[in-house]
A and B are shown apart, each in its own frame.
Chain A
Amino acid sequence: MEILTSIWDSIISILHESGLLQLFVGDGWKNAIMIGIACFLLYLAIGRQFEPLLLLPIAFGMLLVNLPLSGVMDVPTTELVPLAQASATEIAKYGQIVMPDGQTYVEVAHSGGLLYYLYLGVKLGIYPPLIFLGIGAMSDFGPLIANPKSFILGAAAQIGIFFTFCGAILLGFNAKVAGSIAIIGGADGPTAIYVTSKLAPDYLGPIAVAAYSYMALVPIIQPPIMRLLTTKKERAVVMTQLRTVSKTEKIMFPIIVTIVVALLLPSAAPLVGMLMLGNLMRESGVVKRISDAAQNELMNIVTIFLGTTVGATARAEVFLTPETLMIVGLGLAAFCLGTAFGVLFGKLMYIFTGGKVNPLIGSAGVSAVPMAARVSQKVGQETNPSNYLLMHALGPNVAGVIGSAVAAGVLLAVLGR
């Protein structure tokens, strides 16, 4: 009987210390909701294949951090243990310190959680530029070099960022948070994470989730705006074939862009510099091995770390707030405004070129490479099935990556002080 009682007591004790019980204590219900949200995002990533490469690790990071007592994001701490209570191993490992009160203590260090250490790559602004390195190594800037006018569409699609900034300020967010929310309009996940990690790290979870959700929803969000702002005649425009770009031009491009952007806006140098380094590795053709590594192994490894740790910032007490809903709403507004301004500038180009530019390529200026360019192609083909806008849309698309990195540099330069 005594044995049974002691087994029962052990079970009760284990249950008391389990995460399961914590779900029913205090604010534990919030964690339960977050677990539900994480499972829903996992469904979207796996079942619906919404940006699965990022949404899956983000959702799993979110799941891990909201499991009570998992400790995956615990901050490393130290504890002063009186010498009499410290074990011989602790004394040998950490040494003794004498405090001003004359007592001798052992300063015992407790390690942080796994994801806390991996998160340092986000906090220190390391992962997003590494992702940019991989993007650069995968990008072909040929269409942009062949048609430099595309830069204007990449700039126009960033206007939404700055109008959303105003919206966020009017809703009561402070300037740094407003800047981080507004950058969602750049439709560039790594840029949004980079800016937010510098300006408002507490908001990283909701902003990253909103940014990647909208990027996954590009084919749903953009077409109605594109159709609304263009006429059938404009959408049917067949653009002339782009000129062939020589290898030397492609090699010079990343070097020139880096020099110009970094000299004019040094705060954009980490993102633009790494993007262009990746591209130079690709186009030079002399470092094929490291170009391949940047495109594949490095990109994949950083994606795992970035996704999981960003997801792990979405703790219940941060995520389940009215502000998250506002961030989601403002992010959508930023994205729609970016698309609209891109298309409107595309219309201006249509007018000024006497109908040679199809305004649909303007929406690709929001970045989201190559999804936004594919959307331009798809909407164009609805009107004219033999029209191939893809290569023309890739110009504004990659210009949008540079544009959003420049916009991020502006926000960091002005708000990051």
Chain B
Amino acid sequence: MLTTFTPLIGAGADLFDDKRMLMAVITASGIIIVFVILLLLIFIFYAYGGIFRALTVSKEKKAAAKKAAENAAKAAEPPSAAAPAPAPAAAPATDGEIPGEIIAVIAAAVAAMSGGKTYAVKKVTRAAQETGRRTAWAAAGLYENTRPF
């Protein structure tokens, strides 16, 4: 209840030895207890994370094995009459590392931004990556995920 106000400055100023003891006890015990509890939590959550990761890996392995078995069963079936493949379109020149899907996405982005004019993507090359820097896609993904904060 805020009815009285007692000035505390100077209270017990002559008890310097007791103060030193008080400071030492509170500081040491406080730091030790905070660290011990949080270190214990680190230990628990490392163990806990390890268990969960192991469980996830085991699940993934099982799922992969199941999928492989299914694929093998499909491969064993006799081949049906396949439709003739469409004639391949002229592809832009690449350095050989860029998959076709990515080139299609880039071409679609160029078409979307072209404003009705027709452009041809003739060459796609990978830009030099600065070490220690994220790609534009990684940065955009992170930005998207962290925007609420």
Contact = CB atoms under 8 A, between A and B. Distances in A.
B146 A148 contact: no
13 contacts: A123-B1, A145-B49, A148-B49, A151-B39, A151-B42, A155-B35, A172-B10, A174-B12, A204-B2, A317-B5, A318-B2, A318-B5, A414-B29
Contacts of B19: 169-170
Interface in B1-17: 1-13
Interface residues of A, number: 75
B36 to A, nearest CB: 8
Interface string A157-199: 0110111011001111111010100000000000000000000
B8 A174 contact: yes
Contacts of B40: 260, 264
Interface residues of B, number: 49
A166 to B, nearest CB: 4
A5 interface: no
B102 to A, nearest CB: 21
A323 B146 contact: no
A201 B4 CA distance: 10
Contacts of B139: 386, 388
Interface in B116-142: 132-134, 139, 142
Contacts of A174: 8, 11-12
Interface string B27-40: 10111011111111
A182 to B, nearest CB: 9
Nearest to A141: B45
B34 A407 contact: yes
Interface of A: 73, 75, 119, 123, 144-146, 148-149, 151-152, 154-155, 158-159, 161-163, 165-166, 169-175, 177, 179, 201-202, 204, 236-238, 243, 246, 248-249, 252-253, 256-257, 260-261, 264-265, 313, 315, 317-318, 321-323, 326, 370, 373-374, 377, 384, 386-388, 390-391, 394, 399, 402-403, 406-407, 410-411, 414-415
B52 A246 contact: yes
